[in-house]
Structure formats: C-alpha cells, structure tokens
Homo-oligomer: A and B are copies of this chain.
Amino acid sequence: MPSSSVQIVAVVGCGTIGTSWAACFARAGLTVRLFDADPARPAFARAEAIEMLRASGDVTGGDVTALQARIQLADTLEQAVQNADYVQENAREQAGEKTALFEQLDALAPPDCILASSSSAILPSSFLAGLPGRSRCLVAHPFNPPHLIPVVELVAPAWVAPEILARTATFLESIGQLPIYVAREVDGYVGNRLQVAVVNEAMALIDRGVVSPGDLDRCVTQGLGLRWAFIGPFETMDLNAPDGFAGYVGRFGDSYQQLGRTLALDSPWSQEAIDRVAAWRRSELPLADLKQRQAWRDDLILRIRALVANADAVTSSSR
C-alpha cells in the first residue's frame, strides 16, 4: 500500500456514515477525533465503531483498549481539527449547514489539512466554491458503510490543488478504500446514478405489473449480480464476445440503444408499487429480524470480497 502522511483524522458529524468512517480510520491505526453538534453523539459513535470492527473481525478483545485510546472525543470543532491532517465531514445533506460548517473548518484546521466531505447529494460547487481555502476542499463520497464497501468517489472541481487530490487518493488507498475519480460534477456522481437507473426501472416494472418484487430481486441475485460482484458492466460485455468489447458492441450496441429508448426512468413511483414491494419485504423478513439480516449481509460482503481478492491474486500470479 502507498504510504501516506496522514496521522490524525477528524470525523465531523457522527451519524451512521461518520461512525463507519471512524471505524475505517481507527482500523488503520490512526488517531481519530470525533465531533458532533450533539455532544452526546461522539461517545456513542466510538462504542459503535468498535462494535463494527468487532463484527467485521478486524478487532479482537485485546485490541479494544488501544482502540478506545485512539478514538478521541472532541468537545469543540476547534479541538477536533487541532493538528489534524485530514477531516471527513458527515453533516446533514443541507446546503446552508454544510457551507457554515466548512467556513468554520477552513478557518480552524491547519493550512495543509485536507477537508473532505461525505456529501452525496449537494454538489461541491454549491458549498465549497466560495471558501478562502477551497484548494484543499473536496468531496470524498463513500458507499454505505465505508468500513465494508471500499469505493469512495472523489469529486474535485478545478479549484482543488492536484496535490490535494493525489494526497487524498493515496491516503484512502493506504487505509484500504478504493478511490475513483469523478471528473465532472453531475447529480448523484457515478454510483448513485447507476443505482438509480436500476431502481427506477425496477419500480416501473413493478408498477406496470411486469414482474413481482421477489422475482425482480432474484433476477439480480441469481443473474446480473453474480457477475457484477467481480466484473463491472464493461468487462461483462468484453468477456461475452470472442473479439471483446468492440465486437460485442458491433453486434449488440444497436439493441442496447434501442432498448434504452424504451426505458422510462423518469416515471413517478406509484404508491401502489411502493406498497407492493414493502409488503413483499415484510412477508420475507419481519422488521424485528432486520438487524440480524444486516449482520448477515455485512458478513457476506466481507466473505465475497475475500473470495474475489484471493482469486485475483491467483490469476495475476499465474500470468
């Protein structure tokens, strides 16, 4: 893994995402400072982050004392960012709130400290563009939860110093995340756009009575998704033709584009379709069992990652 000069990280905003970020940073051996507008929140988040690492097998009993010491609770924002090398902000998705917070962060944090936002919806230009120190401010949008899902989308408008972007990517890689570059501001960046494409078409299919919610989910888990866990949509196409992607597009590109024109991803979701999916979910899984099923999901994510990582290692060494 590439080395990184980051030693002290401030997590600002300790909801679900902030807590999982804290787990990522602490797992990597960094000093983590937790701050939240709600003063009761950081202590709770620390306990939760340690519990996350215990559940994912990253920490055993003996390490807990060290983790407790490494994850520090800050009473003020000033205290949180003092001497910090990297700040990960996870406040609510509310433009005014984010702007005010980043003004404070920019004023309080050391000049070479990276200021990264987990913002998923508010675009960087709408809350970072006016800051005096905007050259060190960017969006680092994780998937949920970052301690299990590696991808982090880096959105760095032209005002961000290339050195800051490079340092952020190196740092995230050094703690086991996978940064990807979003070169232009677009709503939803990349991941949420792809997810919304699937979900909106899925809702339209339920609404039109084409398929049941259970069959739709199974079509993904027993079909498309079996490949997407380790080869992306482009490599999937590449491997489906003896002459690779170019040949595949030559044969099927027109059909894809034709079919694309029949999708109606802008149709509103009917309440009836929402109710049908919700009723199916509750018939499959009572709300009381949701937490147990989440633990099962988290465990499977880790096991699939391990399986694929191991297979990749074998493939590269045999080439």
Given contacts A229-B221, A287-B243, contact A200 B256 (CB under 8 A): yes
Find out whether the CB atom of A229 lies under 8 angstroms from the CB atom of B226.
yes
State A293–B149 Cα separation when bound (angstroms).
Answer: 24
Chain B residues positioned under 8 Å from A239 (CB to CB) = 290, 293-294, 297
Find out whether the CB atom of A188 lies under 8 angstroms from the CB atom of B262.
yes
Find out whether the CB atom of A149 lies under 8 angstroms from the CB atom of B200.
no
What 0/1 readout, one digit per residue, does chain A (196-223) give for beta carbons within 8 Å of chain B?
A: 1111111001001111110111111111
Chain B residues positioned under 8 Å from A260 (CB to CB) = 196-197, 200, 265-266
Stretch at the interface among A22-30, A63-71, A302-310: A302-310
Number of A residues, CB within 8 Å of B: 108
Chain B residues positioned under 8 Å from A278 (CB to CB) = 244-246, 249
Q: Is A54 an interface residue (CB 8 A)?
A: no
Q: Is A1 an interface residue (CB 8 A)?
A: no
Chain B residues positioned under 8 Å from A221 (CB to CB) = 228-232, 308
Find out whether the CB atom of B303 lies under 8 angstroms from the CB atom of A181.
no
Find out whether the CB atom of B229 lies under 8 angstroms from the CB atom of A215.
no
Find out whether the CB atom of B187 lies under 8 angstroms from the CB atom of A259.
yes
State A209–B184 Cα separation when bound (angstroms).
Answer: 7
In chain B, what residue has the closest Cβ to A151? B223
Chain B residues positioned under 8 Å from A263 (CB to CB) = 193, 196-197, 200, 265-266
Find out whether the CB atom of A234 lies under 8 angstroms from the CB atom of B149.
no
Nearest chain B CB to A215's CB is how many angstroms away?
A: 4
Find out whether the CB atom of A217 lies under 8 angstroms from the CB atom of B229.
no
Chain B residues positioned under 8 Å from A190 (CB to CB) = 205, 210-211, 215-216, 219
Known: A149-B222, A181-B215. 7 other contacts (CB 8 A): A150-B223, A178-B218, A186-B262, A200-B257, A221-B232, A234-B277, A239-B293
15 contacts between A and B (CB under 8 A): A143-B224, A180-B215, A183-B211, A190-B210, A193-B263, A217-B231, A217-B233, A221-B229, A228-B228, A230-B300, A231-B297, A244-B287, A253-B269, A260-B266, A265-B265
